[in-house]
Every structure is written in structure tokens, then in C-alpha cells.
Chains A and B, each alone.
Chain A
Amino acid sequence: MSQPRDYRLHEGTVIDHLPVGSAARALELLGLPREGSITVGINVPSPSQGQKDIVRVEGLFLEKHESDRLALLGEHITVSIVRDGAVAEKTVLDVPDRLLGILACRNPTCITNEEQVQTVFLKQGGFPYHFRCAYCERVSATEA
């Protein structure tokens, strides 16, 4: 039996080294599927992680607020931008120390849940990340 064709991208983005089980959440965060073919690998063997998830999206190029959100899913997630069938740029996602406007505060009595204000969260320590709301000062764990 012949193997399916290799799902190489022509123009698009490969999100690799996602923790196992996070591919679906990654698609949800990015509002996918949209147009363009998507291939998703789940429980893919990985020399460095044992297993990983991987998402390849044709025609997608991430905005900063999207990569900031993806970064919350795990450590060492990589994003490769593919142009003309070749990797043009590869970055390891990093969670910024200050997250601006991309998370909502879990504290129901936080002022940010009442007023029109951009949220500000300060990263506390390493993965799994905890964030301190700059307004109500509560620290919470965040599954992106």
C-alpha cells in the first residue's frame, strides 16, 4: 500500500513541539479551520519530547497576539514560516513577561471584568505559567 503524500506546506506555518493533547486547543485559539488545508499530527513520536502534537496550516501567518497565546500552551513550541516550500524562518515561542490584552481575569470581582480596559498580566516564574493580574493582583494558573 502506498503511503499518503507528505503534507508539506507551500506557503504557511508549522506549529511544532506542541505538548500532547494541545493541538485541538491550538486550532481553537487560532480560530481554525479557516481557508487553507490543515494537517494535524497527534501523539507524533519526537526524539526530544517522547511524543508531541504538530499543526501545519497552509496560507496562515501568525499575528503577535496569536503567537503570544499559543506560547501559553507549553514550553519549546516552535513556529516555522514556510515560503515557497522551504522554511524561511523558525522561532521558539516565548511567553512575554507582560501579556497585554490577551487574557481575561478569572477573578469575577476584578475591575477589568467591568470596565473597558486592556488587561495586563505579569508572568510569574516558568512553565506551567502563572500570571498576576496587574489590577486585582490575583495570581492564577492559565491554560491559555
Chain B
Amino acid sequence: MADHVHAGKAFFGRSVVSAEDFTKDEILALLDAARSYDRFEDGTPSFQPVPATLQGRVLGLLFFEPSTRTRLSFESAMLRLGGSVLGFADARISSFSKGETLVDTIRVVEGYCDAIVLRHPKEGAARLAAEVARVPVLNGGDGSNQHPTQTFLDLYTIREAAGQLDGLKVGFMGDLRYGRTVHSLASALLHFDVDLKFIGPENLRLPSDLRGQLKQAGRLGAEVTQLADAGDLDVLYVTRIQKERFPDPMDYERVRNAYRVDREALAPLGENLKILHPLPRVNEVATEVDDLPGAIYFQQSRNGVTVRMALLDLILGGRAGAGAS
């Protein structure tokens, strides 16, 4: 624990571009900090009332492409800590995008705020912004590359639901090839003693470099096309399969029905299975699954707020400055 507290200080003033930039201790420190914002009353989650540690601080939200969930989650986190937000939700309605370079936009906006959340359609945008900005930059998604706060909240959700991260069998289902959330979470889980299994169609199998990485670490449990062949699972992480990946619409229809989970498909996996989904879902998870005790995707979405609260507080030095643990 002492290591985690120390590691928590490593966030102060730091940009968050990729989950891979963080050590295991740093990630655990963040997850521990996030827990302090959660409160459970009679099994119902709520937010722990916290002092306005970020009062007077301003978070800039620069969304060059829309992502309502990510934006509202960051906004909620900042407001709950007593801070304020400014920015734009879509570059098409902002004069910022009119021919101005990203670097110039960042240099202007850093003068208005204490940290910047950047969502941008081009891969590498957050890395570049973090290099030029004098305030910390938090990557809210750069094209198909990284979305580190999603990875952190996924880890947090699994850890809180399963009690720990070590010893788990985690299955990923859906688009394993292009799914950014799958790649980042699988890489981050390599910090822990986990067995990773992958369930998806032949044409959307894992990219070879990630498969190699998992194999080398001895964590590649199974790669199968059917959920029924995956064996035991503690966690099932379902992702959306996008239509654009299939040149033939017929193939898409066939695949999307094959990778849809309902109560019948989940029954053999037992009651303790935790089901996650980064949302939004289309039909990958039948609504009848929502009432299962293990269906925690809405909780997962809500956890995005507590994890982002912890991250903002650590980065902007809200409580670290007060010396609280």
C-alpha cells in the first residue's frame, strides 16, 4: 500500500496519453484513489460526498469529434470535485477547427485552463498535444489508437466486481482485431496474473503483434470462434462488431447474430460471471441480460466518473497537496 501511495504522487502534473505509460503500482494507486469516491448503501452505488478539492480549477474539454459519454463523464468528475469546465463538444461547431493547427489550438487553450481533455480523430494527436502543452493533457481518445481512461475504468470495474485482478479468467468477445478497448485492456491486464481468452469471428482475430505479446507473457488462454468453446470465465468483456468491417452485408448479419449474448448463451458460464461492455451497445448484449446480477456495464460506465475524479484529483494535486491518503 505504501508503494501505491507513493505511486499516486507520480500523477501530479502528468499527462495521460496511453495506459502503457503507467506502471502497475501507478495504476493500482489510481484504482485505490477511485475507490474512495464510491459509496454503497444497501447495494446501491452512490458518490461519496467529497470536499471541493478542485475549486477554482478549470478543465478544458476539446472534443474535435463528438463523444458524449466521455465528455459528460469528465464533466461530471470535474464538477463533483468543485472545479469548472469549458470547451467544445464537436469541432464542426467550433471556430477553433477552422484551419488552425492542433498545436496552435492547444497553445491558446492552455492559457484558459489547468488541464486539457482532448478527443481527436487522428492517431497520435494526444501525444503531440502533451508535448507542446504546458498543462497536463488527458487523452479522451485519439482515433483508433488509445483511450486510457476507458482502460483504467475497465480495470477498476473488474477489480471492484471480482475483488481482485490476479487469478481471473477474462474473455473478450467481438471485434478483436480493430477494437481499441480490447487491445488496451488486454495489454494492461498483462500486469496481473490473468488468463485471457478471445472469442470472435475469423476475420476479426487478434492482431499478430498483440497475440505475440500475450503468448510471450504466457497469458493467451484460448482463441476461439464460439463462446461455448471458451471454457470457464470470470469476466466476459463484450464489444461491438462494426458493419464497416464487412464488405458483404450478409456476412455482417450472420456474424452479429453469432456474437450476441443472451441469457441462454450465458447460462453455462454460471451466476458469478461479470459482463462488461464499453457501450454504446447495438444488439451484442440482449436487454434481457441487464437484470442478471453479473451485468455490470452500466456500473462500468458510472465508474468512469469515479476513476476520472481520482485521476483529475491526482493530476491537479487536489488531495495530494493536502497529504491525505
Contact = CB atoms under 8 A, between A and B. Distances in A.
Q: Do A and B come from one complex?
A: yes
Interface of A: 105, 107, 109-112, 114-117, 133-139
Contacts of B127: 111, 134-135
Q: How large is the interface on B (under 10, 10 to 19, 20 to 34, 35 or more residues)?
A: 10 to 19
B125 interface: yes
Contacts of A109: 121-123, 143-144
A114 B102 CA distance: 9
B124 A137 contact: yes
A134 B284 CA distance: 34
A111 B125 contact: yes
A67 to B, nearest CB: 27
A115 B146 CA distance: 19
Contacts of B102: 111, 114-115
A115 B101 CA distance: 7
Q: Looking at chain A's contact residues, is the secondary structure mostly helix, strand, loop, or mixed?
A: loop
Contacts, number: 51
Closest 10 CB pairs of A and B: A135-B124, A136-B123, A111-B124, A136-B124, A111-B122, A111-B125, A135-B127, A111-B128, A110-B124, A110-B123
Interface of B: 18, 101-103, 120-125, 127-128, 142-146, 209
Interface centre among B18, B124, B125, B144 (most CB of A within 10 A): B124
Contacts of B143: 109, 136
A109 B191 CA distance: 30
A115 B123 contact: no
Contact of B146 (A112, A117, A134, A137): A137
A136 B143 CA distance: 9
- Indicate the member of B121, B123, B142, B209 with the most A CB atoms within 10 Å: B123
30 contacts: A105-B124, A109-B122, A109-B123, A110-B123, A110-B124, A111-B120, A111-B125, A111-B128, A112-B124, A112-B128, A114-B122, A115-B101, A115-B103, A115-B128, A116-B103, A117-B128, A134-B124, A134-B127, A135-B123, A135-B124, A135-B127, A136-B122, A136-B123, A136-B142, A136-B143, A137-B123, A137-B124, A137-B145, A137-B146, A138-B123
B124 A139 contact: no
Contacts of A116: 101, 103
Contacts of A105: 124
